[in-house]
Structure 1
Amino acid sequence: MINKIASLFLLFLLIISCNDTPLVASEISFTHKDLASCNTVECPEIFVNYPKFSGEVEVTKAINASVEQFIIESLYLDDPEQKPTAKNIQEAAQQFIDMYRMHNAEFPDLAIDYYSEIEIEESFRSEEIISIELYQEKYTGGAHGYRSLSYGNFSIKTGQKIPANKLFKDLNIFTKFAETYFRSQHNIQENKEINSTGFWFDDNKFYLPESIGFNKKSFVLHYNQYEIASYAEGPIEVEIPLKDVAQYLNVSLKK
Protein backbone atom coordinates (compact mmCIF):
# COMPACT_ATOMS: atom_id res chain seq x y z
CA MET A 1 0.00 0.00 0.00
CA ILE A 2 2.81 2.37 0.95
CA ASN A 3 4.62 1.61 -2.31
CA LYS A 4 1.45 2.34 -4.27
CA ILE A 5 1.00 5.71 -2.54
CA ALA A 6 4.66 6.55 -3.13
CA SER A 7 4.32 5.69 -6.82
CA LEU A 8 1.25 7.90 -7.19
CA PHE A 9 3.06 10.74 -5.43
CA LEU A 10 6.04 10.44 -7.77
CA LEU A 11 3.70 10.42 -10.77
CA PHE A 12 2.04 13.59 -9.47
CA LEU A 13 5.43 15.29 -9.10
CA LEU A 14 6.35 14.23 -12.63
CA ILE A 15 3.16 15.75 -14.06
CA ILE A 16 3.72 18.99 -12.15
CA SER A 17 7.34 19.22 -13.28
CA CYS A 18 6.35 18.65 -16.92
CA ASN A 19 3.78 21.42 -16.77
CA ASP A 20 6.38 23.77 -15.31
CA THR A 21 8.99 23.05 -17.97
CA PRO A 22 10.29 26.44 -19.13
CA LEU A 23 10.15 27.44 -22.77
CA VAL A 24 13.63 27.77 -24.24
CA ALA A 25 14.19 29.47 -27.60
CA SER A 26 17.05 28.46 -29.88
CA GLU A 27 17.96 30.71 -32.82
CA ILE A 28 17.73 28.97 -36.21
CA SER A 29 19.06 30.39 -39.48
CA PHE A 30 18.29 29.25 -43.01
CA THR A 31 19.38 30.62 -46.38
CA HIS A 32 19.13 29.68 -50.05
CA LYS A 33 22.65 28.28 -49.76
CA ASP A 34 21.28 25.44 -47.64
CA LEU A 35 19.41 24.05 -50.66
CA ALA A 36 21.15 21.51 -52.88
CA SER A 37 19.60 23.10 -55.98
CA CYS A 38 21.58 26.28 -55.30
CA ASN A 39 24.99 24.59 -55.15
CA THR A 40 25.62 24.87 -58.89
CA VAL A 41 22.95 27.30 -60.13
CA GLU A 42 22.47 30.87 -58.99
CA CYS A 43 19.41 31.35 -56.78
CA PRO A 44 17.47 34.33 -55.47
CA GLU A 45 18.61 35.29 -51.99
CA ILE A 46 16.60 33.93 -49.07
CA PHE A 47 17.47 34.74 -45.46
CA VAL A 48 15.39 33.37 -42.60
CA ASN A 49 16.08 33.73 -38.88
CA TYR A 50 13.61 32.39 -36.35
CA PRO A 51 13.34 30.93 -32.84
CA LYS A 52 12.56 27.27 -32.28
CA PHE A 53 11.11 26.55 -28.86
CA SER A 54 11.72 23.53 -26.67
CA GLY A 55 10.03 22.62 -23.40
CA GLU A 56 6.53 21.30 -22.73
CA VAL A 57 5.70 19.32 -25.87
CA GLU A 58 2.16 20.47 -26.66
CA VAL A 59 2.99 24.14 -26.00
CA THR A 60 6.15 24.23 -28.10
CA LYS A 61 4.53 22.19 -30.87
CA ALA A 62 1.77 24.79 -31.25
CA ILE A 63 4.08 27.83 -31.18
CA ASN A 64 6.68 26.29 -33.50
CA ALA A 65 3.96 25.28 -35.97
CA SER A 66 2.62 28.84 -36.05
CA VAL A 67 6.10 30.29 -36.66
CA GLU A 68 6.83 27.77 -39.40
CA GLN A 69 3.49 28.45 -41.10
CA PHE A 70 4.25 32.19 -41.16
CA ILE A 71 7.56 31.48 -42.92
CA ILE A 72 5.91 29.14 -45.43
CA GLU A 73 3.22 31.70 -46.25
CA SER A 74 5.82 34.48 -46.55
CA LEU A 75 7.70 32.49 -49.21
CA TYR A 76 4.56 31.58 -51.14
CA LEU A 77 4.32 33.16 -54.62
CA ASP A 78 1.65 31.09 -56.34
CA ASP A 79 -2.11 31.67 -56.61
CA PRO A 80 -3.16 33.89 -53.66
CA GLU A 81 -6.55 32.18 -53.69
CA GLN A 82 -4.89 28.88 -52.83
CA LYS A 83 -3.10 27.80 -49.67
CA PRO A 84 0.62 26.93 -49.75
CA THR A 85 1.32 23.24 -50.30
CA ALA A 86 4.83 23.22 -48.78
CA LYS A 87 5.16 20.97 -45.73
CA ASN A 88 8.25 22.67 -44.29
CA ILE A 89 10.52 25.70 -44.65
CA GLN A 90 12.99 24.01 -47.01
CA GLU A 91 10.20 22.99 -49.37
CA ALA A 92 8.70 26.49 -49.25
CA ALA A 93 12.08 28.03 -50.10
CA GLN A 94 12.51 25.65 -53.03
CA GLN A 95 9.06 26.59 -54.34
CA PHE A 96 10.01 30.29 -54.07
CA ILE A 97 13.09 29.60 -56.18
CA ASP A 98 11.12 27.49 -58.68
CA MET A 99 8.63 30.33 -59.18
CA TYR A 100 11.49 32.80 -59.68
CA ARG A 101 13.01 30.60 -62.38
CA MET A 102 9.65 30.03 -64.07
CA HIS A 103 8.86 33.77 -64.15
CA ASN A 104 12.27 34.66 -65.57
CA ALA A 105 11.99 31.91 -68.19
CA GLU A 106 8.57 33.21 -69.28
CA PHE A 107 9.74 36.84 -69.45
CA PRO A 108 13.51 36.79 -70.12
CA ASP A 109 13.52 40.43 -71.25
CA LEU A 110 12.11 41.47 -67.87
CA ALA A 111 14.31 39.22 -65.75
CA ILE A 112 14.73 40.61 -62.24
CA ASP A 113 16.31 39.47 -59.01
CA TYR A 114 13.94 38.19 -56.34
CA TYR A 115 14.79 38.07 -52.67
CA SER A 116 13.13 37.25 -49.37
CA GLU A 117 14.15 38.16 -45.83
CA ILE A 118 12.28 36.89 -42.78
CA GLU A 119 13.19 37.86 -39.21
CA ILE A 120 11.29 36.43 -36.26
CA GLU A 121 12.10 36.99 -32.60
CA GLU A 122 10.57 36.76 -29.16
CA SER A 123 9.73 40.31 -28.13
CA PHE A 124 8.11 39.80 -24.72
CA ARG A 125 7.37 37.12 -22.15
CA SER A 126 5.39 37.09 -18.91
CA GLU A 127 4.11 34.27 -16.72
CA GLU A 128 1.04 33.94 -18.96
CA ILE A 129 1.91 35.20 -22.43
CA ILE A 130 4.71 35.16 -24.97
CA SER A 131 4.74 37.69 -27.81
CA ILE A 132 6.62 37.03 -31.04
CA GLU A 133 7.48 39.69 -33.62
CA LEU A 134 7.36 38.49 -37.24
CA TYR A 135 8.91 40.60 -40.00
CA GLN A 136 9.02 39.81 -43.69
CA GLU A 137 10.44 41.66 -46.67
CA LYS A 138 10.58 40.50 -50.26
CA TYR A 139 10.94 41.76 -53.80
CA THR A 140 9.37 40.01 -56.78
CA GLY A 141 9.13 42.91 -59.21
CA GLY A 142 7.31 46.21 -59.39
CA ALA A 143 8.14 49.70 -58.21
CA HIS A 144 9.09 48.58 -54.73
CA GLY A 145 9.20 45.50 -52.55
CA TYR A 146 6.76 44.28 -49.95
CA ARG A 147 7.36 44.39 -46.22
CA SER A 148 5.22 43.83 -43.17
CA LEU A 149 5.50 43.35 -39.44
CA SER A 150 3.06 41.38 -37.32
CA TYR A 151 2.82 39.85 -33.86
CA GLY A 152 1.79 36.49 -32.53
CA ASN A 153 0.59 36.51 -28.92
CA PHE A 154 0.57 33.02 -27.41
CA SER A 155 -0.57 31.47 -24.16
CA ILE A 156 2.38 30.16 -22.14
CA LYS A 157 0.17 27.35 -20.81
CA THR A 158 -1.31 26.06 -24.08
CA GLY A 159 0.79 27.52 -26.90
CA GLN A 160 -2.37 28.69 -28.64
CA LYS A 161 -2.69 32.14 -30.19
CA ILE A 162 -4.66 34.65 -28.15
CA PRO A 163 -7.00 36.68 -30.41
CA ALA A 164 -7.56 40.38 -29.69
CA ASN A 165 -11.06 39.82 -28.33
CA LYS A 166 -9.61 37.42 -25.74
CA LEU A 167 -6.54 39.51 -24.97
CA PHE A 168 -8.60 42.38 -23.55
CA LYS A 169 -11.30 42.48 -20.90
CA ASP A 170 -13.34 44.75 -23.16
CA LEU A 171 -11.98 45.36 -26.67
CA ASN A 172 -14.19 48.41 -27.29
CA ILE A 173 -13.07 50.14 -24.10
CA PHE A 174 -9.41 49.49 -24.90
CA THR A 175 -9.87 50.75 -28.46
CA LYS A 176 -11.20 54.06 -27.13
CA PHE A 177 -8.25 54.27 -24.75
CA ALA A 178 -5.78 53.50 -27.56
CA GLU A 179 -7.31 56.24 -29.70
CA THR A 180 -6.36 58.84 -27.08
CA TYR A 181 -2.72 57.72 -27.36
CA PHE A 182 -2.87 57.75 -31.15
CA ARG A 183 -4.33 61.25 -31.23
CA SER A 184 -1.77 62.51 -28.72
CA GLN A 185 1.23 61.09 -30.59
CA HIS A 186 -0.02 62.41 -33.94
CA ASN A 187 -1.27 65.79 -32.72
CA ILE A 188 -4.92 65.21 -33.60
CA GLN A 189 -7.24 67.23 -31.39
CA GLU A 190 -10.10 65.41 -29.70
CA ASN A 191 -12.72 67.50 -31.51
CA LYS A 192 -11.18 66.81 -34.94
CA GLU A 193 -11.91 63.84 -37.20
CA ILE A 194 -9.34 61.05 -36.99
CA ASN A 195 -8.47 61.53 -40.68
CA SER A 196 -8.15 65.31 -40.39
CA THR A 197 -4.35 65.15 -40.72
CA GLY A 198 -4.31 62.79 -43.69
CA PHE A 199 -4.84 59.27 -42.34
CA TRP A 200 -7.02 56.73 -44.18
CA PHE A 201 -9.15 55.15 -41.46
CA ASP A 202 -12.25 53.58 -43.00
CA ASP A 203 -15.41 55.59 -42.33
CA ASN A 204 -13.24 58.13 -40.51
CA LYS A 205 -13.29 55.95 -37.38
CA PHE A 206 -10.28 54.82 -35.36
CA TYR A 207 -9.60 51.09 -35.08
CA LEU A 208 -6.77 48.89 -33.90
CA PRO A 209 -4.29 47.57 -36.48
CA GLU A 210 -4.06 43.92 -37.45
CA SER A 211 -0.61 43.85 -35.82
CA ILE A 212 -0.67 44.27 -32.05
CA GLY A 213 1.81 42.87 -29.56
CA PHE A 214 4.29 43.49 -26.79
CA ASN A 215 7.90 44.48 -26.42
CA LYS A 216 9.86 44.81 -23.19
CA LYS A 217 8.48 48.25 -22.32
CA SER A 218 5.33 48.79 -24.38
CA PHE A 219 2.20 47.47 -25.99
CA VAL A 220 2.63 48.11 -29.72
CA LEU A 221 0.05 49.15 -32.30
CA HIS A 222 1.71 48.64 -35.69
CA TYR A 223 -0.08 49.77 -38.85
CA ASN A 224 1.72 48.41 -41.91
CA GLN A 225 2.15 50.43 -45.09
CA TYR A 226 -1.14 51.19 -46.88
CA GLU A 227 -3.16 50.19 -43.81
CA ILE A 228 -4.03 53.75 -42.77
CA ALA A 229 -1.64 55.89 -44.84
CA SER A 230 0.25 55.97 -48.14
CA TYR A 231 3.28 53.80 -48.87
CA ALA A 232 5.50 56.88 -48.67
CA GLU A 233 4.45 57.45 -45.05
CA GLY A 234 5.86 54.07 -44.08
CA PRO A 235 4.56 52.02 -41.15
CA ILE A 236 2.68 53.91 -38.44
CA GLU A 237 3.44 52.76 -34.91
CA VAL A 238 2.14 53.71 -31.49
CA GLU A 239 3.69 52.41 -28.28
CA ILE A 240 1.72 52.44 -25.03
CA PRO A 241 3.66 51.82 -21.78
CA LEU A 242 2.92 48.42 -20.26
CA LYS A 243 1.91 49.99 -16.95
CA ASP A 244 -0.85 51.93 -18.73
CA VAL A 245 -2.24 48.99 -20.70
CA ALA A 246 -2.12 46.34 -17.94
CA GLN A 247 -5.54 47.22 -16.48
CA TYR A 248 -7.26 46.47 -19.81
CA LEU A 249 -5.74 43.02 -20.31
CA ASN A 250 -7.06 39.55 -19.56
CA VAL A 251 -3.50 38.28 -19.09
CA SER A 252 -0.87 39.03 -16.48
CA LEU A 253 2.27 40.93 -17.50
CA LYS A 254 4.09 39.74 -14.39
CA LYS A 255 7.36 38.04 -15.31
Structure 2
Amino acid sequence: MFVACESNQTPEEKLAEARIDAKIIDRYVHLNESFKRNKEDIDSTYFDVKYPILKLENYNSDSVINAQVFHDLKESIAGKGQSTIQKQMKDFVSDYKRFIKRHEDYKHNWTSQFRVDVSTYIPPLVVFKREMIMYTGGAHPNYGYAYQNFDADTGKEIKLEDIFVENYEHILEKIGETAFKQEHKIVGSLLDANFTFPRNKFYVPEEFTLLHKSIMFMYPLYAVAPYSKGSIHFEIPYTELKSIIKPNSIIQKITRK
Protein backbone atom coordinates (compact mmCIF):
# COMPACT_ATOMS: atom_id res chain seq x y z
CA MET A 1 0.00 0.00 0.00
CA PHE A 2 1.40 3.38 -0.98
CA VAL A 3 1.54 5.91 1.88
CA ALA A 4 3.15 9.29 2.50
CA CYS A 5 6.83 9.33 1.66
CA GLU A 6 9.40 10.25 4.25
CA SER A 7 10.22 13.95 4.11
CA ASN A 8 12.65 16.27 5.86
CA GLN A 9 10.14 19.10 5.65
CA THR A 10 8.58 20.45 8.81
CA PRO A 11 4.78 20.64 9.09
CA GLU A 12 5.09 24.41 8.61
CA GLU A 13 7.02 23.97 5.35
CA LYS A 14 4.45 21.52 4.07
CA LEU A 15 1.68 23.94 4.96
CA ALA A 16 3.48 26.74 3.14
CA GLU A 17 3.43 24.68 -0.05
CA ALA A 18 -0.35 24.46 0.16
CA ARG A 19 -0.85 28.16 0.76
CA ILE A 20 -2.29 30.18 -2.10
CA ASP A 21 -1.32 33.83 -2.18
CA ALA A 22 -4.44 35.90 -1.68
CA LYS A 23 -5.38 38.95 0.33
CA ILE A 24 -7.83 37.46 2.77
CA ILE A 25 -6.69 39.19 5.98
CA ASP A 26 -8.42 42.52 6.57
CA ARG A 27 -6.35 43.33 9.66
CA TYR A 28 -4.80 41.89 12.82
CA VAL A 29 -5.89 42.51 16.39
CA HIS A 30 -2.90 42.78 18.73
CA LEU A 31 -3.26 42.77 22.53
CA ASN A 32 -0.36 43.10 24.96
CA GLU A 33 0.20 43.41 28.70
CA SER A 34 3.79 43.72 29.94
CA PHE A 35 5.92 44.60 32.94
CA LYS A 36 9.60 45.47 33.42
CA ARG A 37 11.27 45.21 36.80
CA ASN A 38 13.64 48.02 35.90
CA LYS A 39 13.45 50.66 33.19
CA GLU A 40 16.85 49.64 31.84
CA ASP A 41 15.81 46.00 31.37
CA ILE A 42 15.70 44.82 27.76
CA ASP A 43 13.40 41.88 28.39
CA SER A 44 10.06 41.96 30.15
CA THR A 45 7.33 39.75 31.47
CA TYR A 46 4.49 39.85 28.98
CA PHE A 47 1.27 38.31 27.72
CA ASP A 48 0.83 38.84 23.99
CA VAL A 49 -2.10 37.91 21.73
CA LYS A 50 -2.46 38.40 17.99
CA TYR A 51 -5.20 37.14 15.68
CA PRO A 52 -6.50 38.00 12.19
CA ILE A 53 -9.80 39.37 10.96
CA LEU A 54 -10.73 37.56 7.78
CA LYS A 55 -12.17 39.26 4.71
CA LEU A 56 -13.03 36.83 1.93
CA GLU A 57 -13.91 37.86 -1.59
CA ASN A 58 -16.75 35.91 -3.21
CA TYR A 59 -17.91 34.46 0.14
CA ASN A 60 -20.35 35.70 2.78
CA SER A 61 -19.06 33.52 5.59
CA ASP A 62 -16.12 35.58 6.89
CA SER A 63 -18.02 37.10 9.84
CA VAL A 64 -19.18 33.65 10.98
CA ILE A 65 -15.66 32.23 10.67
CA ASN A 66 -14.13 35.22 12.48
CA ALA A 67 -16.57 34.79 15.36
CA GLN A 68 -15.75 31.09 15.74
CA VAL A 69 -12.00 31.67 15.60
CA PHE A 70 -12.21 34.37 18.28
CA HIS A 71 -14.53 32.25 20.44
CA ASP A 72 -12.08 29.34 20.44
CA LEU A 73 -9.09 31.61 21.03
CA LYS A 74 -10.83 33.27 23.97
CA GLU A 75 -11.80 29.87 25.39
CA SER A 76 -8.24 28.57 25.10
CA ILE A 77 -6.98 31.59 27.07
CA ALA A 78 -9.78 32.45 29.48
CA GLY A 79 -11.82 29.26 29.69
CA LYS A 80 -15.56 28.82 29.22
CA GLY A 81 -16.67 31.25 31.93
CA GLN A 82 -17.28 34.98 31.86
CA SER A 83 -13.62 35.96 32.04
CA THR A 84 -12.03 37.86 29.16
CA ILE A 85 -8.69 37.69 27.36
CA GLN A 86 -7.78 41.11 28.77
CA LYS A 87 -8.47 39.98 32.34
CA GLN A 88 -6.32 36.89 31.90
CA MET A 89 -3.50 39.05 30.56
CA LYS A 90 -3.65 41.41 33.54
CA ASP A 91 -3.89 38.51 36.00
CA PHE A 92 -0.82 36.88 34.45
CA VAL A 93 1.30 39.99 35.00
CA SER A 94 -0.15 40.54 38.49
CA ASP A 95 0.68 36.95 39.45
CA TYR A 96 4.27 37.52 38.34
CA LYS A 97 4.55 40.69 40.42
CA ARG A 98 3.31 38.86 43.51
CA PHE A 99 5.69 35.98 42.82
CA ILE A 100 8.84 38.13 42.62
CA LYS A 101 7.87 39.92 45.82
CA ARG A 102 8.04 36.56 47.59
CA HIS A 103 11.13 35.41 45.65
CA GLU A 104 13.41 38.42 45.29
CA ASP A 105 16.29 36.35 43.91
CA TYR A 106 14.21 35.07 41.00
CA LYS A 107 15.78 36.46 37.81
CA HIS A 108 13.58 35.12 35.02
CA ASN A 109 10.66 36.73 33.23
CA TRP A 110 7.38 35.00 32.52
CA THR A 111 6.03 35.03 28.99
CA SER A 112 2.79 33.96 27.36
CA GLN A 113 2.15 34.28 23.67
CA PHE A 114 -0.85 33.29 21.57
CA ARG A 115 -0.78 33.62 17.79
CA VAL A 116 -3.47 32.84 15.24
CA ASP A 117 -2.91 33.04 11.51
CA VAL A 118 -4.21 31.62 8.26
CA SER A 119 -1.93 28.70 7.41
CA THR A 120 -3.67 27.47 4.26
CA TYR A 121 -6.12 28.99 1.80
CA ILE A 122 -7.35 26.82 -1.05
CA PRO A 123 -10.85 28.16 -1.77
CA PRO A 124 -13.22 27.26 -0.30
CA LEU A 125 -10.87 25.76 2.34
CA VAL A 126 -9.54 28.16 4.98
CA VAL A 127 -7.25 26.81 7.70
CA PHE A 128 -6.21 28.67 10.85
CA LYS A 129 -3.29 27.68 13.04
CA ARG A 130 -3.37 28.70 16.72
CA GLU A 131 -0.04 28.57 18.55
CA MET A 132 0.74 28.99 22.23
CA ILE A 133 4.12 29.39 23.92
CA MET A 134 4.27 29.94 27.67
CA TYR A 135 7.09 30.12 30.18
CA THR A 136 6.56 30.49 33.93
CA GLY A 137 9.76 28.85 35.10
CA GLY A 138 11.26 25.42 34.66
CA ALA A 139 13.58 23.73 32.20
CA HIS A 140 11.76 24.82 29.05
CA PRO A 141 8.64 26.64 27.89
CA ASN A 142 5.38 24.86 27.22
CA TYR A 143 4.01 25.07 23.73
CA GLY A 144 1.10 23.79 21.75
CA TYR A 145 -0.82 24.36 18.56
CA ALA A 146 -4.20 23.59 17.08
CA TYR A 147 -5.79 23.86 13.66
CA GLN A 148 -9.25 24.92 12.57
CA ASN A 149 -10.38 23.94 9.09
CA PHE A 150 -13.31 25.88 7.62
CA ASP A 151 -15.46 25.56 4.52
CA ALA A 152 -15.99 29.11 3.25
CA ASP A 153 -19.06 27.96 1.30
CA THR A 154 -20.89 27.28 4.56
CA GLY A 155 -18.80 29.00 7.23
CA LYS A 156 -18.74 25.76 9.23
CA GLU A 157 -15.71 24.23 10.88
CA ILE A 158 -14.81 20.94 9.21
CA LYS A 159 -14.81 17.78 11.31
CA LEU A 160 -13.61 14.33 10.29
CA GLU A 161 -17.20 13.12 10.00
CA ASP A 162 -17.79 15.87 7.41
CA ILE A 163 -15.19 14.45 5.04
CA PHE A 164 -15.38 10.71 5.68
CA VAL A 165 -18.24 8.24 5.27
CA GLU A 166 -19.88 6.49 8.22
CA ASN A 167 -17.80 3.87 10.04
CA TYR A 168 -14.57 5.21 8.56
CA GLU A 169 -12.58 4.83 11.77
CA HIS A 170 -11.18 1.32 11.31
CA ILE A 171 -9.97 1.94 7.75
CA LEU A 172 -8.46 5.32 8.69
CA GLU A 173 -6.68 3.76 11.66
CA LYS A 174 -5.20 0.99 9.52
CA ILE A 175 -3.98 3.36 6.79
CA GLY A 176 -2.84 5.85 9.41
CA GLU A 177 -0.66 3.35 11.26
CA THR A 178 1.11 2.41 8.03
CA ALA A 179 1.66 6.08 7.21
CA PHE A 180 2.87 6.84 10.74
CA LYS A 181 5.41 4.02 10.72
CA GLN A 182 6.74 5.04 7.34
CA GLU A 183 6.92 8.71 8.35
CA HIS A 184 8.96 7.82 11.44
CA LYS A 185 10.90 4.89 9.92
CA ILE A 186 9.50 2.33 12.36
CA VAL A 187 10.19 -1.31 11.51
CA GLY A 188 9.23 -3.04 14.76
CA SER A 189 6.71 -2.06 17.40
CA LEU A 190 5.74 1.46 18.38
CA LEU A 191 7.15 0.94 21.86
CA ASP A 192 10.50 -0.25 20.50
CA ALA A 193 10.68 3.05 18.60
CA ASN A 194 10.09 4.97 21.87
CA PHE A 195 6.51 5.96 21.10
CA THR A 196 4.29 5.58 24.14
CA PHE A 197 0.85 4.84 22.71
CA PRO A 198 -1.63 3.55 25.33
CA ARG A 199 -1.31 -0.25 25.48
CA ASN A 200 1.14 0.08 22.56
CA LYS A 201 -1.87 0.47 20.24
CA PHE A 202 -1.85 3.08 17.48
CA TYR A 203 -4.65 5.62 17.26
CA VAL A 204 -5.42 8.54 14.96
CA PRO A 205 -5.43 11.86 16.86
CA GLU A 206 -8.28 14.35 16.70
CA GLU A 207 -6.01 17.20 15.56
CA PHE A 208 -5.72 17.48 11.78
CA THR A 209 -5.32 19.92 8.95
CA LEU A 210 -6.25 19.63 5.30
CA LEU A 211 -3.65 20.29 2.61
CA HIS A 212 -3.99 20.35 -1.16
CA LYS A 213 -3.17 16.68 -1.71
CA SER A 214 -3.13 15.16 1.76
CA ILE A 215 -4.41 15.30 5.32
CA MET A 216 -1.96 15.82 8.17
CA PHE A 217 -2.61 14.53 11.71
CA MET A 218 -0.80 15.89 14.78
CA TYR A 219 -0.52 14.59 18.35
CA PRO A 220 -0.50 16.88 21.39
CA LEU A 221 2.79 17.38 23.19
CA TYR A 222 3.63 14.40 25.46
CA ALA A 223 0.69 12.36 24.09
CA VAL A 224 2.77 9.63 22.43
CA ALA A 225 6.39 10.76 22.84
CA PRO A 226 8.67 12.76 25.17
CA TYR A 227 9.14 16.52 24.81
CA SER A 228 12.53 16.00 23.16
CA LYS A 229 10.89 14.43 20.08
CA GLY A 230 9.07 17.67 19.35
CA SER A 231 6.05 17.77 17.06
CA ILE A 232 4.74 14.30 16.19
CA HIS A 233 2.70 14.15 13.00
CA PHE A 234 2.03 12.05 9.93
CA GLU A 235 0.48 12.65 6.55
CA ILE A 236 -1.84 10.57 4.33
CA PRO A 237 -2.41 11.37 0.64
CA TYR A 238 -6.06 11.67 -0.32
CA THR A 239 -5.44 9.04 -2.99
CA GLU A 240 -5.00 6.48 -0.20
CA LEU A 241 -8.32 7.45 1.37
CA LYS A 242 -10.60 7.30 -1.67
CA SER A 243 -12.69 4.48 -0.22
CA ILE A 244 -13.80 6.56 2.78
CA ILE A 245 -13.96 10.14 1.40
CA LYS A 246 -17.51 11.44 1.11
CA PRO A 247 -18.78 12.46 -2.33
CA ASN A 248 -18.83 16.27 -2.77
CA SER A 249 -16.81 16.82 0.39
CA ILE A 250 -14.38 19.71 0.86
CA ILE A 251 -11.56 17.37 -0.19
CA GLN A 252 -13.09 16.90 -3.60
CA LYS A 253 -13.59 20.66 -3.93
CA ILE A 254 -9.93 21.50 -3.30
CA THR A 255 -8.39 18.62 -5.24
CA ARG A 256 -10.16 19.73 -8.42
CA LYS A 257 -8.01 22.87 -8.44
1:182 CA displacement: 0.7
More divergent stretch after superposition (232-241 vs 155-164): 155-164
* Cα distance in structure 1, aligned partners of 2:50 and 2:155: 20
The yes-or-no answer on 1:150 pairing with 2:146 is yes
The yes-or-no answer on 1:180 pairing with 2:178 is yes
Q: Between the two structures, name the one with larger relative contact order (CA 8 Å, sep ≥ 6).
A: 2
Cα-to-partner distance string for 1:196-239 (whole Å, 9 max, x where unaligned) = 31101112111112321124554212223211001111111223
- Does the 8 A contact of 2:190 with 2:197 survive in 1? yes
Q: Which residue of 2 aligns with 1:113?
A: 109
Relative distance call for 1:188 and 1:65 in structure 2 (3 A) is same
1:23 CA displacement: 9.6
The yes-or-no answer on 1:239 pairing with 2:232 is no
* Cα distance in structure 2, aligned partners of 1:176 and 1:62: 36
* Cα distance in structure 1, aligned partners of 2:92 and 2:29: 17
Q: How many residues align?
A: 223
Higher helix share: 1
Q: Give the alignment's Cα RMSD to 1 decimal.
A: 3.4
* Cα distance in structure 2, aligned partners of 1:162 and 1:204: 29
Q: 3-state DSSP class of the match of 2:156?
A: coil
Relative distance call for 1:104 and 1:70 in structure 2 (3 A) is farther
Cα-to-partner distance string for 1:120-160 (whole Å, 9 max, x where unaligned) = 22223344532222211111122221101211122323323
Q: Which residue of 2 aligns with 1:221?
A: 217
- Does the 8 A contact of 2:117 with 2:129 survive in 1? yes
Q: Which residue of 2 aligns with 1:19?
A: none
- AA of the residue aligned to 2:186: I
- Max Rg structure: 1
Q: Which residue of 1 aligns with 2:83?
A: 86
Cα-to-partner distance string for 1:92-123 (whole Å, 9 max, x where unaligned) = 43333233333334444446311122232222
- Does the 8 A contact of 1:104 with 1:112 survive in 2? no
Q: Which residue of 1 aligns with 2:7?
A: none
Relative distance call for 1:104 and 1:68 in structure 2 (3 A) is farther
- Does the 8 A contact of 1:151 with 1:211 survive in 2? yes
1:71 CA displacement: 3.4
* Cα distance in structure 2, aligned partners of 1:106 and 1:150: 35
Cα-to-partner distance string for 1:141-182 (whole Å, 9 max, x where unaligned) = 222211012111223233232233333222331222111111
- AA of the residue aligned to 1:223: Y
Q: Which residue of 2 aligns with 1:25?
A: 25
- Does the 8 A contact of 1:218 with 1:240 survive in 2? yes
What TM-score, normalized by structure 2, do the two folds share? 0.70
* Cα distance in structure 1, aligned partners of 2:158 and 2:200: 28
Q: Which residue of 2 aligns with 1:252?
A: 250
Q: 3-state DSSP class of the match of 2:250?
A: coil
- Does the 8 A contact of 1:221 with 1:239 survive in 2? yes
- Does the 8 A contact of 2:35 with 2:45 survive in 1? no
What TM-score, normalized by structure 1, do the two folds share? 0.71
Percent of aligned positions with the same letter in both sequences?
26
Relative distance call for 1:249 and 1:119 in structure 2 (3 A) is farther
* Cα distance in structure 1, aligned partners of 2:138 and 2:103: 14
Gaps of 5+ in 2: 1-21
- Does the 8 A contact of 1:25 with 1:51 survive in 2? yes
